[in-house]
């Protein structure tokens, strides 16, 4: 029972599974970047790229903190017992506080461990839209960081290169991954062009998937609601109404016949008398149904 309660509490606290994995991997990358910042202080180009990435991570983690505060069952419990205070401090633009991101990583690991790998895999398979979106966003973050560093590394000392600084590499990667392609910065080496090809492919995948995700999110439910709210189409006058009228009249006649036969049988009449009475009743009802059908046809034609 304790195990079941732990798993139920973890599911309640767990957000979208793909989103939690995305946040966990970003936390891991940000901690690795923090180590690189202190380990490679002499490399100015690397420092600039890592500063930009840390600024991006800070914005994402601040949005994550706000999202968790807004959706938590108990905001106070999340803030004080769920390390919300560490999430907030780690989102601030202070290098000394970024080490607190390890609490976010530990929480994601604990939640995913409590839920179980089988449940995680089943959720990812069934929720393909969010899984694909988060995967491509993660690839975009990775390409932005490592693509910039790779392009700069292969291009900065090449003959005729125009990507010679960290800002040039970042600008080229951002412009390329967004599929804008101004052409003011471009690789001149074979390795640089291969890296640029990878950035283009990832960028097209990200923006194509993101566009489809937004279209499904905003337009899909609206269309479904409109389809369910549409009234039934009115039958065309004339031919389409006549069968309905005739069927209605025949149905009434058949019901009356059944009622007459049943009444005769219940009354205990002799077989011959009951048969004659039923036959006469049937003729009257058929005549009535024909008159009713004719009147309905006249009403429809009059419209």
Say which CATH number the domain at 135 has: 1.10.287.70
Q: Are residues 183 and 283 in the same domain?
A: no
User: How many angstroms separate the CA atoms of 141 and 134, rounded?
Assistant: 11
CA separation for the pair 105, 161 (Å, rounded): 40
Residue 4: what pLDDT?
A: 55
Task: Report yes or no on 232 lying in a domain.
Answer: no
Q: Rounded CA gap, 143 and 130, in Å?
A: 20
**Same domain, residue pair 32 and 82:** yes
Whole-number pLDDT of residue 96: 76
Of the CA atoms within 13 Å of residue 244, those in its CB half-sphere come to 10
Confidence of residue 150 (pLDDT cuts 50, 70, 90): very high
Most confident of 93-107, 181-195, 227-241, 282-296: 181-195
- Domain annotation covers residue 231: no
Half-sphere exposure of 300 (CA within 13 A, CB side): 18
Verify that 164 and 269 share a domain, yes or no.
Answer: no
pLDDT at 1: 47
The residue from 167, 194, 211 where one domain ends is 211
Are 117 and 143 in a shared domain? no
157/6: higher pLDDT: 157
Residue 236 has pLDDT above 60, yes or no: no
In the chain, what percentage of residues exceed pLDDT 70?
75
Highest mean pLDDT among 96-105, 107-116, 152-161: 152-161
Q: Is the pLDDT of residue 194 over 90?
A: yes
Q: Which residue has the higher pLDDT, 246 or 281?
A: 281
Give me the half-sphere count of Cα atoms (radius 13 Å) on the Cβ side of residue 245. Answer: 19
From 77, 96, 126, the end of a domain falls on 126
Note the pLDDT of residue 197. 92
Would you state the pLDDT for residue 193?
93
Calculate mean pLDDT across residues 66-75.
Answer: 86
List the single range of 36-50, 75-89, 157-171, 276-290 with lowest mean pLDDT: 276-290
Q: Of the given ranges (172-181, 202-211, 259-268, 278-287), which has the lowest mean pLDDT?
A: 259-268
pLDDT at residue 300, rounded to an integer: 64
- Out of 26-30, 150-154, 170-174, 229-233, least confident range: 229-233
Mean confidence (pLDDT) of the chain:
76
- Is 189 in the same domain as 251? no
| Tokens standing for residue 299 | 């009403």
Instruction: Looking at the structure, tell me whether residues 66 and 163 fall in a common domain.
Output: no
Residue 8 and residue 16: Cα distance in Å, rounded? 15
Same domain flag for 183 and 286: no
Q: Which domain holds residue 281?
A: 241-302
Which tokens in the block code for residue 31?
Answer: 């901690």
| Confidence grade of residue 15 (pLDDT, cut at 50, 70, 90) | low
Indicate whether 189 and 91 sit together in one domain.
no
Write down the pLDDT at residue 11: 53
Regarding whether 120 and 33 lie in a shared domain, the answer is yes
Which pLDDT score, from 0 to 100, does residue 237 have?
47
Evaluate whether residue 101 is within a structural domain: yes
Counted domains in the chain: 3
pLDDT at 33 over 70: yes
Residue 221 confidence (pLDDT)? 55
User: What is the rounded distance in angstroms from the CA atom of residue 130 to the CA atom of residue 128?
Assistant: 6
Residue 189's pLDDT band (boundaries 50, 70, 90)?
A: very high
- Asked whether residue 65 is domain-assigned, the answer is yes
Q: Are residues 172 and 93 part of one domain?
A: no
């Amino acid at each position: 029972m304790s195990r079941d309660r732990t798993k139920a509490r973890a599911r309640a606290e767990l957000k979208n599974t793909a989103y939690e994995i995305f946040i966990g991997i970003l936390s891991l990358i940000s901690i690795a970047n923090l180590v690189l910042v202190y380990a490679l202080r002499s490399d100015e180009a690397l420092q600039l790229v890592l500063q930009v990435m840390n600024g991006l991570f800070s914005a994402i983690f601040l949005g994550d903190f706000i999202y968790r505060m807004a959706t938590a069952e108990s905001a106070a419990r999340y803030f004080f017992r769920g390390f919300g205070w560490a999430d907030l401090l780690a989102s601030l633009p202070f290098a000394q506080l970024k080490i607190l991101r390890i609490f976010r990583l530990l929480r994601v690991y604990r939640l995913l461990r409590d839920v179980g790998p089988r449940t995680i895999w089943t959720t990812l398979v069934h929720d393909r839209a969010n899984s694909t979106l988060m995967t491509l966003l993660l690839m975009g973050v990775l390409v932005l960081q490592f693509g910039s560093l790779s392009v700069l590394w292969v291009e900065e000392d090449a003959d005729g290169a125009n990507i010679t600084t960290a800002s040039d590499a970042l600008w080229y990667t951002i412009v390329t991954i967004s599929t804008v392609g101004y052409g003011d910065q471009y690789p001149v080496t074979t390795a640089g062009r291969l890296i640029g090809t990878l950035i283009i492919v990832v960028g097209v995948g990200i923006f194509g998937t993101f566009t489809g995700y937004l279209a499904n999110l905003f337009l899909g439910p609206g269309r479904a609601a409109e389809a369910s709210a549409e009234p039934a189409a009115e039958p065309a006058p004339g031919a389409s109404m006549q069968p309905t009228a005739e069927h209605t009249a025949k149905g009434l006649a058949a019901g009356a016949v059944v009622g007459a036969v049943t009444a005769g049988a219940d009354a205990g009449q002799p077989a011959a008398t009951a048969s004659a009475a039923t036959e006469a009743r049937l003729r009257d009802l058929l005549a009535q149904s024909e008159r009713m059908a004719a009147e309905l046809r006249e009403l429809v034609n009059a419209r």
